[in-house]
Structure 1
Amino acid sequence: MADSLARHVPPHARLVLALSGGLDSVVLLHVLLALRDQHPFALWAVHVHHGLSPHADRWADFCTQLCASRAVELSIHRVQIARDDAAGIEAAARRERQRVFAMLDADFLLTAHQQNDQAETLLLQLLRGAGPKGLAAMAAVRPRPDWRAAQLRPLLGVTRAGILDYAQAHGLAWVDDESNQDTRYRRNALRQQVLPLLATHFPGSSATLARAAALQAEAAELLDELARLDAAAAIDGNRLDCSALGRLSLPRARNLLRHFIEQQGRPMPNARQLNEALLQLLGAKDDARMCVKLGQMDIGRFRGGAYLVPLAPAAAAPVRWQGEASVWVPAAGVSVHMDAASGAGLKRAVLIAGEVTLGVRQGGERLRLHAGGPRRSLKNLLQEHAIPPWQRDRLPLLWCDGRLAWASGIGLDADLCAAPGEAGVMPRH
């Protein structure tokens, strides 16, 4: 524990402890307070009140009294969890906890996961068919891009038995969550039934499984390093070069595609979806266009590049603009900002006097980009401007009195452009 703090936590860092009131988090609080003199840091605690147990109020009261007796500041966050959540109660509770944790203004969020938790996580991931990254289970320290704090797990090397011995030796009190005994939950089934049986035949199995997770973490890091090397020649911003992907072996190409998805901040699809997308990307001709469903997103190919595509918004009617600085366009899934301008953009007087609507194309739209020039088909303009096919039907458009006046990424109607010194409105998204 002291080694973990020395390795990861600089002096005077701001730490917040996730305090459930259970054995592990109570012991972690006690150890932190004992170490504070030799390794100074600011410490406070957070308790997430899920409201799922009839004892939830009592647990919050216990944490309040415990922190008061130790002069530790405590914040309690009450969350609402629907018991019929489609993701399941466990996943919904975890999602709400993480939402609270993401908002905490600290350098590190400390959670009391220990060695037995690591073994359970490895088995759960193994039974889900996870690869090295999933089998790495829980990292001792994990920066999270959507959190202000990094997550630190200083007890990962300590067994549940060792934690219990420490608590009893120091006369500590804690609360027990009765749901931990409910073997309908998979983790509890592993904890109560599978791991004790494993320990009977394989003494020290929890430590062995935790060690295996550490080896998988090393393998995952090597795969990440390889992907970064491959990405240097294959990924440019949000584009993955399909020819570079095709020059790699199949496992290496799959590793690069997985890295590309992760780099874009998208949820990882399952193995079947990933393999299907990879085979279609590699099997398509150089000039082919394609779009493959990939779980919560699509992956499209256009002009030799692969792009991740958010799922298209549900169909929606155009919306009226009534002078707002920005307007949400449901059919496009974006906000269009209407910036004031002088001698640029669309004539403000014409827009204010007319009926302005925003939406997406329905077909047959035409736009005059140059004064005196023809009104050209929007379909042809989209092709000339190399707008990928999957973006064309969700591109925000603006009409004034039924006339197309602006197409995002294409331009403005030349006849409606503000003259020098004239008040204008410049749409953008």
Structure 2
Amino acid sequence: MSRAHRWDERLSQAAAQRRAADGWRQRISLGPSAQLIDFAGNDYLGLAADPRLAEAQAAGAKRLGAGARASHLVSGHLDVHQRLEERLAELTGRPRALLFSTGYMANLGVLQALCDRHTRVFQDRLNHASLLDGARLAEAPSRRFHHRDLADLERLLERAPREAPALVVSDGVFSMDGDTADIAGLANICQRQGAWLMIDDAHGLGVLGELGDGCVGQAHDHHQVPVLVGTLGKALGSAGAFVAGDAAVIDHLIQFARPYIYTTAQPPGVAAATLAALDILEAEPERRDRLHANIARFRREADTLGLPLSDSGTPIQPVVLGDSSRVLRWAERLAQAGLRVGAIRAPTVARDQARLRITLSAAHDASALDALLEALDGCRREEAA
């Protein structure tokens, strides 16, 4: 048997196993004429399609070019990047911020730069894949504490070697469940145990906090949460990510974070669009008010319908159905009603925790919520018939 044949067989077996488990993922190519109402994306404030962002992006590209041409450390760090970093530091109440091209790269970069095989990393069991992969990249010994279980975390820290640097890592808002970390509780444990705390606030930034500064933001100073990660492609409607912290943290990342050092800088038009999004975030707090009104209405009426909701006060509202085939049936039924939702199955979540991942936005009006709730009730009724 040739080596090429063995590779073909390996890929074929992997595909067959994934299909048999109802876990096969498919891309959907969408155009401007797509008719489905989007309850699957992360455009929480409805900014991705705001013409002001598109105009700012076009103007930025016209002034500075479609691409940055090089990495930040060569010749790609432009004035628009510098202004954006300063605005993000100001929003989050940190001394400095550093741009990354994606949230995944930001988490890989931080963990690879801060940790090594002598570091102990402690992660919430439901952390995003990028955080788990970052610890692997750093070859740092890792332990995963039970979800949001502060007592379990403290037990693990107590048992860890006292001479080893310790980093506690958690999502701020958990991307599949929509619940939030106990930031104050984590910070208190880290202070007692001499550990640092890193929070990935990808789904909180722009949504939570009095200023849209997230579930960490200005409520917790940089001594409590030394490493704060945020993304720009969700509530802020553009693309990219950043890390916020004090000067020592940011300087360390500039020197040692390989995903930062060896990547072309963010396109300048994207940075300009994000600056426009930050202006809107500050000037139009009613967007957050409308989003949270939508969350409250959906939860109230979904509970009345008897839908299995999780304990989430954020735009992420999972309907846990348990069985992958059942999730696919409901998602198809919703698509037929003109609604797009996420059909989340193993391995993204545990095999018995398959769910519809419904995400709400300030852009959803009353008729869109009506249609969603009616379609979900229709799914429930069809199964009960």
Q: If the length of structure 2 is used for normalisation, what is the TM-score?
A: 0.27
Question: Which structure's relative contact order is higher, taking Cα pairs within 8 Å and 6+ residues apart?
Answer: 2
Q: If the length of structure 1 is used for normalisation, what is the TM-score?
A: 0.25
- Normalized per residue, which structure has more strand? 1
- Normalized per residue, which structure has more helix? 2
